Structure 1
Amino acid sequence: MTGATTTAPYASEIEDLLGRMTAEEKLGQLQQLSWTGDTGPGEGQTHEVETAARLGLLGSVLNVAGPRHTNYLQRIAVEESRLGIPLLFGLDIIHGYWTTFPIPLAQAASFDPGVSARDAEVSAREARSNGLHWTFAPMMDVTHEPRWGRIAESGGEDPYLNAVFAAAKVRAYQGDDLAAPDRLAACAKHFAAYGGAEGGRDYNTVDVSEARLRNLYLPPFKAAVDAGVATVMAAFNTISGVPAHANPHTLTDILKEEWGFDGFVVSDWTGVHELIAHGFAADGADAGRLSLNAGVDMEMVSTHLADHGPRLLTEGRISEKRLDDAVARILLLKFRLGLFDRPYVDEGAAVTGPTGEARAAARETAARCMVLLKNDGGVLPLDPATGSLAVVGPFADSTDLLGTWIAPGAAGFPAVTVLDAVREAAPTARVTHARGVAAEGHDTGGIPEAVALARDADLTVVVVGEPAAITGEAATRADLALPGAQRDLVAAVAATGRPFVVVLVNGRPLTTDEWLDSAPAVLEAWHPGIEAGHAIADVLFGAVNPGGKLPVTFPRTAGQIPVYYNHENTGRPYRPEHPDEKYVSRYLDLDEGPRFVFGHGLSYTTFDVGAPSLSTDRIEAGALRAGATVEAAVTVHNTGDRTGDEVVQLYVHDVVASQVQPVRRLRGFRRVTLAPGESTTVRFPLGAEDLGFWEGTGEPRFTVEPGDFHIYAGNSALAEEKRTLTVT
């Protein structure tokens, strides 16, 4: 086996099995089939699954769930096949199994990796008890593209933030022992640079330099590998002309050799077959050859390795050594999961729905993810004793608040509605309701009813946003405004002159310029999951003081994309102090800068984040490379009259470098809770990884160059307080 797998545990057991397997059985371990075919393109493969399992020609099954079904298939594989090798059962458990947590983009907005860890722990417990071993999560595709539907599954635009959350979720899914009955094997996806798809169109081309690949897209994957992630999934896109499913540079040179990854690489759904559509493979046999030789170890749904592998081996187009390496990696995970000792799950012990404890975790984390975008005049929090409230909008009484990629829990456990939760939170208030408009479509006939209720209420809560169906995979949007007639509803409520607040439920950044100035307060709630209504009401009425921050920039208009905080300077940057300069990098017809910057988020109290202090203002580059660090200390003070959370953010700028650097790079964050008048000091170690970068020319090399570094501290990417560190 290549890389770190040469010293893996279970080596003797794996070697024994490899010695007894036929070529066809080895190729069978590389095959994953779908039990139902209910997700993605293609037809169900139920009969094919049973036949392959019985013949020992199947390694894994996806989209099967429930202990009765998994045990049924597992008995066929273990008790009827020649060698009795157990199957590996996988499912897309992205943000919950029975208990749906906020979408991953929302989780990143918490700036608290403990939020993702709680999701993973609850999900793993529920899913493993239902016979599953493997989740195709976390997704850690850094992206500058809010048009891309799958931004909902990512941690947003920053590689450091994505890396911290990816590592936390991997550790929580997998724990210390993959064989434990409440843990799942994780899958880092999609490798690599999927978030750079041109135009935000799913599955589209990515043309990326080696420097951009290593400095922007790869850090979260490296963090996941360092955290011990069991598997990695290849991406649908090309990378500089080479499809990710047939890219030996990323899958083998970097992942398996440079990083020493000892798990296995699974293709995405029909990703091997799609090498033909890319124009990279001539036919199925060629696709199988290219993917296996590049580093793919398991083929999802398409069957080119199983179909053509024997002939490819005979012709020497794939090697027995490479085949054995792939099989060994798959067997290793099955041993680590304990499947050879305990292939079946106790059907009587299956978790069959969300527990009270799980719901409480979902509610707490959802509120923790929400971002207060605007709060003019302190409209929020609302007083539960308010005499009358109108709750309007297409999502006011909707259960479509779970978000994209929801597991079986969606069918039986819908989201709590905002309307029901508001009535519960304000039991003495007269609460009225009208949808006003649909989530999509341009019928405005219901707006007069909503307006009448708004005129008659002390305050109106307008709940607008995106249906989950237009977020996630294959859900690219060219227009990021509120869909349909929802903008008309906001404008009509604003025209009443009565107080109102807007709650956004969405899976991506939306453009708000058409109505934002008229809205006194705006709460970004994302798609919050099963306890959506309760969590939203907790924030609206002040039971929870919002402390989330934006993990992605909100543009003014889709025409401004890409717009992100960690951009490089041009030779002619726009300077706010000279707004009339013509020959600078800007739009003529748009105000400079985004609508809301990365890291933005308000609170019901106020904070002062002080300037960073450094343990030293000079350090040698050699000392950094040897492991030395500089400590940056930042003091934050609650200057308001409520207990609340602030996220202290630390940014770095390499002022002069041999390769142009971003104007800011997030290199530390800490969410702290402070009582009124309370202060605390947060400390961040800065080492080589924080101050260096990957060179993009010649042989890839990580370097820390001498020079000045500006160290910024604050509560958004606009942080102004700074100190200078000199590296000699």
Structure 2
Amino acid sequence: MSAQGTKQTVGQPFGLDTAQGRALDEMVETLLAQMTLEEKIGQMNQVAGSRDTTGAPANTDIEDDVRQGRVGSVFNAFGVEFTRELQTQAVAHSRLGIPLLFGYDIIHGFKTIFPIPLAQAASWHLEGIERAARVMAREGAASGVHWTFAPMVDVARDPRWGRVMEGAGEDTHLTSQIARAQVRGIQGRAPGATDTLAACVKHYAAYGAVEAGREYNTVDLSEWRLRSIYLPPFLAALEEGCASVMTAFNTLNAIPATCHPLLLDQILRREWGFKGMVVTDYTAIMELERHGVAEDALEASRKAVNAGVDMDMQSGYFIKTLEELVRCGAVEEARIDEAVRRILWLKAALGLFEDPYRYADDEREAECLLSDAHRRAAREQATESMVLLKNEGNVLPLSDQHKKIALIGPLGNTPRLIGSWHGNGDHDDTVTLRDGIAQRLGNGATIMCADGVSNQIGDTDTSGIEAALELVRQADAVILALGEDEAFADEAASRTDIGLPGMQLELARRVLEAAGDTPVATVLFNGRPLTLTELDGMAPAILEAWWPGTEAGNAVADVLFGDVTPAGKLPMSFPRHVGQIPVYYNAFNTGRPKGVDPKYASKYLDSPNDSLYPFGFGLSYTTFEYSALKASCSEIGMNDTLEVSLTVTNTGKRQGIEVVQLYLQDVSASVVRPVRELKDFRRIELAPGACAHVRFHITPEMRSFLNAELETVQEPGRFHVQIGGDSTQGKPLEFHVTPHCA
């Protein structure tokens, strides 16, 4: 079946059936017939909201534009009082009373902040990720928000790019499954519910492939790679009913995504049949001039709207130019109507015409935000997201008998642990690591804190190291709290050096030397994979905590002292050196792979090829043993499904969770296939000594791929399947697919 020109209908946004959609269509058509061209264009204009110190709208121009019907949506507007005031201007003072749509970047929490999305992906716990999305939607909706610009589903293989923190890592399958869970959590099952939001999948498309990991940069890749690696998570989100799509900042093969006909018309509309709304990212239409594909605002607007953009975020170009473009025939009014239908349809689906204020509820806002239940959910997910990278000599978990703790490092006693894109979250509500440890150990413990190096992360001041070493010599356990500042992994936060910033590595070296036989556990707070080769060479225990969110300190203490056994697995490879990047587990082989010839091979002279910590990797406080893999048969037909199974046993002394991962390789095909690809996984919990018989089914869909003609095909031949605890584990088992039924 050809990937090009094939209708793959994703259905109505929110998964509404035909009858529900028809009722909304009728409402929209009635309203559209009453609108002037100017009012239609006004619906396509989104502007930023702002407040003064009293909480009132600071920009009175917005209020006037709203009354004139020149604004369809306001973003960064939240809070019951503020959104009610703006909504009143629209419904009570504009000619047609069309309600505003309030959007906000709620990425990993509104007021209760959960771990960053990359950390959530490390849990491999789809139900937990869906629950986190439900909480953030519930809080945002209670505060007047209708629409969140999430999930971010950009597959990313370059950790220099700061926005890796916002996505699910390097793998297409895992990202697709997480995209589905996030859409379910954000949107729920009924779009009119007042505790859900409309979702917006972003950034469409291939933003995670920017050259050199530099924000907003060029993307140049084959259509084969685009369709095979970068587009499936978007399709998964839309199949789950995602209401809207946001365009990306980047160019794709010399055309900016915001005016890309292949992306916005051919694939999104014609092939996938998406009926929802497309919004740009911030000022992206204006940036078409800077890209060099538009001479002025008129040309930028014409290219964007004709390619398929429905709403302009913040540049104001549509409101300035579309009337003139329609008058001169460069844009058909039918295209304007098409865009406005989608915008009005979304407002109608959310119930805003029935009650424009239904999402702004003082009582819900007071009860919902930062509730005890939401804090508990954030704490639980934070513990699930942590990845134990190293535990030499079983340093972890620390014992309750440790009563004199030296907490060393610039991130040990700071609330700056919630990460970037933290919505309306407040550092004042965040539990520091010091407070979490103190609460866990109680009054009988002494927590001695020293930054050691400057808490201005990246500073080269080392004057505090000697004082920190004095505390280390007095302690019966040491915790090193190292990592990045929140601003170091964010939008516009690319780095060429992804090692520990500043003098933190020197601090770690000195502390580990001074500690002697005293146990030292290193905790990392960061938003991207780091190069940790030197730290790994000297630190006995390393816990990747990411940026854990509001309950950071409590969650880390839960894991450090063994109340929770770590079960996280890396969703993104950690390179040995920045010079390896991009390094990812599902690469192609080469005609001269390493190991065939001692010299003329695809390898480095100064480093192994593989990553320091591979995709899917993560240790536990217990151990798991995998039995030999068995298959129901060794030969199957093209339409058959193969069952494979094995037994996983907890051979340690603690209860634990293991993520059992299935990888597949098509050994010989018409195009080169990856050395392995994640196709399925199971998250199982086992008591000490317990075992589980785990079955997987390898379907024809799992064996399919895009061929050189961009056709989705399955080919007969030889396959390898391996199952293990990470992408490097498990002995491959061979099976054959024949052209005829077995």
Length-normalised TM-score, structure 1: 0.95
Offset of 1:696 from its aligned partner? 4.1
Offset of 1:412 from its aligned partner? 4.8
Q: Check whether the contact 2:718–2:736 (CA below 8 A) recurs between aligned residues.
A: yes
Q: Which residue of the partner structure matches residue 599 of structure 1?
A: 616
Secondary structure of 2:411's partner?
coil
Q: Which residue of the partner structure matches residue 4 of structure 2?
A: none
Q: Which residue of the partner structure matches residue 263 of structure 1?
A: 276
2:562 is equivalent to residue 542 of structure 1: yes
Which string of whole-angstrom CA distances, capped at 9 and with x for unpartnered residues, describes residues 360-396 of structure 1? 0000000000000000011100101224221110000
Secondary structure of 1:28's partner?
helix
Offset of 1:659 from its aligned partner? 1.0
Q: CA 1:412/1:85 → structure 2, altered by over 3 Å: closer, same or farther?
A: farther
Q: Which residue of the partner structure matches residue 437 of structure 2?
A: 422
Q: 1:365 aligns with which of 381, 396, 400?
A: 381
Secondary structure of 2:219's partner?
coil
Offset of 1:613 from its aligned partner? 2.9
Of all paired residues, the percent bearing the same amino acid is 48
Residues of 1 paired with 2:364 and 2:499: CA distance? 46
Offset of 1:434 from its aligned partner? 0.9
State the AA in 2 paired with 1:649: Q
Q: Which residue of the partner structure matches residue 3 of structure 2?
A: none
Q: Check whether the contact 1:74–1:343 (CA below 8 A) recurs between aligned residues.
A: yes
Q: Check whether the contact 1:210–1:696 (CA below 8 A) recurs between aligned residues.
A: no
Residues of 2 paired with 1:559 and 1:515: CA distance? 17
Q: Check whether the contact 2:615–2:726 (CA below 8 A) recurs between aligned residues.
A: yes
Q: Which residue of the partner structure matches residue 43 of structure 2?
A: 29
Q: 1:666 aligns with which of 666, 674, 678?
A: 678
Secondary structure of 1:514's partner?
helix
After superposing the two structures, state which structure 1 stretch, 161-170 or 494-503, moved more. 494-503
State the AA in 1 paired with 2:229: L
Q: 1:297 aligns with which of 310, 323, 344?
A: 310
Q: Which residue of the partner structure matches residue 376 of structure 1?
A: 392
Residues of 2 paired with 1:54 and 1:683: CA distance? 60
Secondary structure of 1:189's partner?
strand
Offset of 1:37 from its aligned partner? 9.6
2:371 is equivalent to residue 355 of structure 1: yes
State the AA in 2 paired with 1:488: E
Residues of 2 paired with 1:396 and 1:678: CA distance? 37
Q: CA 1:725/1:342 → structure 2, altered by over 3 Å: closer, same or farther?
A: farther
Residues of 2 paired with 1:188 and 1:614: CA distance? 38
Offset of 1:721 from its aligned partner? 2.3
Secondary structure of 1:462's partner?
strand
Offset of 1:97 from its aligned partner? 0.5
Which string of whole-angstrom CA distances, capped at 9 and with x for unpartnered residues, describes residues 182-208 of structure 1? 000111000000000000000000001
2:703 is equivalent to residue 686 of structure 1: no
Q: Check whether the contact 1:633–1:681 (CA below 8 A) recurs between aligned residues.
A: yes
Residues of 2 paired with 1:448 and 1:696: CA distance? 62
Offset of 1:317 from its aligned partner? 1.2
Q: How many residues align?
A: 711
Which string of whole-angstrom CA distances, capped at 9 and with x for unpartnered residues, describes residues 424-473 of structure 1? 22223332111101222111110011111112211200000000011110
Q: 1:492 aligns with which of 510, 513, 517?
A: 510
Secondary structure of 1:306's partner?
helix
Q: Check whether the contact 2:418–2:427 (CA below 8 A) recurs between aligned residues.
A: no
State the AA in 1 paired with 2:370: P
Q: CA 1:82/1:634 → structure 2, altered by over 3 Å: closer, same or farther?
A: farther
Residues of 2 paired with 1:88 and 1:492: CA distance? 55
Q: Which residue of the partner structure matches residue 15 of structure 1?
A: 29
Residues of 1 paired with 2:70 and 2:337: CA distance? 15
Residues of 1 paired with 2:396 and 2:726: CA distance? 21
Write out aligned runs for 1:186-585 (5 A). 186-344=199-357, 345-351=360-366, 353-410=369-426, 412-413=428-429, 415-427=430-442, 428-438=444-454, 439-496=457-514, 497=516, 498-575=518-595, 581-585=598-602
After superposing the two structures, state which structure 1 stretch, 90-99 or 303-312, moved more. 303-312
Residues of 1 paired with 2:192 and 2:347: CA distance? 9
Q: 2:707 aligns with which of 666, 689, 695?
A: 695
Q: Check whether the contact 1:103–1:152 (CA below 8 A) recurs between aligned residues.
A: yes
Residues of 1 paired with 2:489 and 2:385: CA distance? 18
Secondary structure of 1:99's partner?
coil
State the AA in 2 paired with 1:690: M
Q: 1:656 aligns with which of 654, 668, 673?
A: 668
Q: Check whether the contact 2:416–2:427 (CA below 8 A) recurs between aligned residues.
A: no
After superposing the two structures, state which structure 1 stretch, 349-358 or 712-721, moved more. 349-358
Residues of 2 paired with 1:450 and 1:696: CA distance? 60
After superposing the two structures, state which structure 1 stretch, 305-314 or 372-381, moved more. 305-314
Q: Check whether the contact 2:415–2:428 (CA below 8 A) recurs between aligned residues.
A: no
Offset of 1:695 from its aligned partner? 2.6
Secondary structure of 1:671's partner?
strand
Q: Check whether the contact 1:609–1:648 (CA below 8 A) recurs between aligned residues.
A: no
Secondary structure of 1:535's partner?
helix
Secondary structure of 2:732's partner?
strand
Which string of whole-angstrom CA distances, capped at 9 and with x for unpartnered residues, describes residues 259-281 of structure 1? 11121111000011111100011
Q: CA 1:15/1:616 → structure 2, altered by over 3 Å: closer, same or farther?
A: farther
Q: Check whether the contact 1:610–1:721 (CA below 8 A) recurs between aligned residues.
A: no
2:717 is equivalent to residue 707 of structure 1: yes
Q: 1:615 aligns with which of 632, 650, 663?
A: 632
Residues of 1 paired with 2:566 and 2:421: CA distance? 26
2:124 is equivalent to residue 111 of structure 1: yes
Q: CA 1:611/1:207 → structure 2, altered by over 3 Å: closer, same or farther?
A: farther
Secondary structure of 1:726's partner?
strand
Length-normalised TM-score, structure 2: 0.94
Write out aligned runs for 1:624-663 (5 A). 629-663=641-675
Residues of 1 paired with 2:538 and 2:476: CA distance? 17
Secondary structure of 1:608's partner?
strand
Q: 1:165 aligns with which of 166, 178, 184?
A: 178
Q: Which residue of the partner structure matches residue 145 of structure 2?
A: 132
Q: CA 1:159/1:207 → structure 2, altered by over 3 Å: closer, same or farther?
A: same
Offset of 1:616 from its aligned partner? 3.8
Offset of 1:311 from its aligned partner? 1.2
Q: Check whether the contact 1:611–1:713 (CA below 8 A) recurs between aligned residues.
A: no
Q: 1:81 aligns with which of 60, 69, 94?
A: 94
Offset of 1:607 from its aligned partner? 0.1
Residues of 2 paired with 1:316 and 1:629: CA distance? 55
Q: Check whether the contact 1:246–1:290 (CA below 8 A) recurs between aligned residues.
A: yes
Secondary structure of 2:719's partner?
strand
* Unpaired segments ≥5 residues, structure 2: 1-7
State the AA in 2 paired with 1:392: I
Residues of 1 paired with 2:664 and 2:567: CA distance? 23
Residues of 1 paired with 2:427 and 2:519: CA distance? 37
State the AA in 1 paired with 2:673: Q
Which string of whole-angstrom CA distances, capped at 9 and with x for unpartnered residues, describes residues 618-637 of structure 1? 3332x2xxxx5333323211
Q: Check whether the contact 1:267–1:296 (CA below 8 A) recurs between aligned residues.
A: yes
After superposing the two structures, state which structure 1 stretch, 369-378 or 508-517, moved more. 508-517
State the AA in 1 paired with 2:401: A
Residues of 2 paired with 1:466 and 1:250: CA distance? 35
Secondary structure of 2:534's partner?
coil
Secondary structure of 2:376's partner?
helix
Q: Which residue of the partner structure matches residue 719 of structure 1?
A: 729
Offset of 1:47 from its aligned partner? 2.6
Residues of 1 paired with 2:154 and 2:239: CA distance? 17
Aligned CA-pair RMSD:
1.7
